[in-house]
Structure 1
Amino acid sequence: MTKTNPTKTNARIAFIKARWHSDTVDRAYDGFMAEVPKLIPGAEVDAFNVPGAFEMPLLAKKLAQTGRYDAVVAAALVVDGGIYRHDFVASAVVTGLLNVGLETGIPVFSVSLTPHHYREEEVVAGFFREHFVKKGAEAAEAVRQVLALDAELAAGDRSDAA
Structure 2
Amino acid sequence: MTKSPRFAFIKAGWHADIVDQALAGFKERLAELGADADVAVFDVPGAFEMPLLAQKLAETGTYDAIAACALVVDGGIYRHDFVAQAVVEGLMNAGLKTGVPILSVSLTPHHFQPSVDHQEFYHAHFLKKGREAAEAAVQVAGVHAALPRMPTRAVA
Secondary structure in structure 1 of the residue aligned to 2:81:
helix
**1:40 positional shift:** 5.4
| Structure 2 letter corresponding to 1:23 | D
Partners of 2:17 and 2:3 lie apart in 1 by: 31
SS at 2:147's partner residue? helix
Residue in 2 aligned with 1:136?
130
Equivalent residues, number: 150
Q: Aligned-pair RMSD on alpha carbons?
A: 1.5
Matched letter for residue 148 of structure 1: G
SS class of match (1:99): helix
Q: Which 5+ residue runs of structure 2 have no aligned equivalent?
A: 150-156
- Asked if residue 94 in structure 1 is aligned to residue 108 in structure 2, the reply is no
Q: Summarize the alignment of residues 109-128 of structure 1 with structure 2, pairs less than 5 Å apart.
A: 109-128=103-122
What residue ranges of structure 1 are gaps of 5+ in the alignment? 1-6, 156-162
Cα distance between partner residues in 1 of 2:94 and 2:2: 24
Match of 1:52 among 31, 46, 57: 46
Q: Give TM-score, length-normalised by structure 1.
A: 0.88
Partner of 2:55: 61
Separation in 2, partners of 1:135, 1:40: 19
Which residue, 42, 66, 71 being the options, matches 1:72?
Answer: 66
Amino acid across the alignment from 1:64: A
Normalising by structure 2, report the TM-score: 0.92
Taking every aligned residue pair, what percent have the same amino acid on both sides? 58
Q: 2:16 aligns with which of 11, 22, 32?
A: 22
Stretch of structure 1 that moved more, 25-34 or 145-154: 145-154
Q: Which residue of 2 aligns with 1:3?
A: none
* Residues 30-75 of structure 1: CA deviation (Å, up to 9, x unaligned): 0000011233522100000000000000100110011111111000
Q: Is the 1:8–1:40 Cα contact (8 Å) retained in structure 2?
A: no
Secondary structure in 1 matching 2:40: strand
Shift >6 Å, 4+ stretches: none
Residues 80 and 118, structure 1, Cα contact 8 Å, conserved in 2? yes
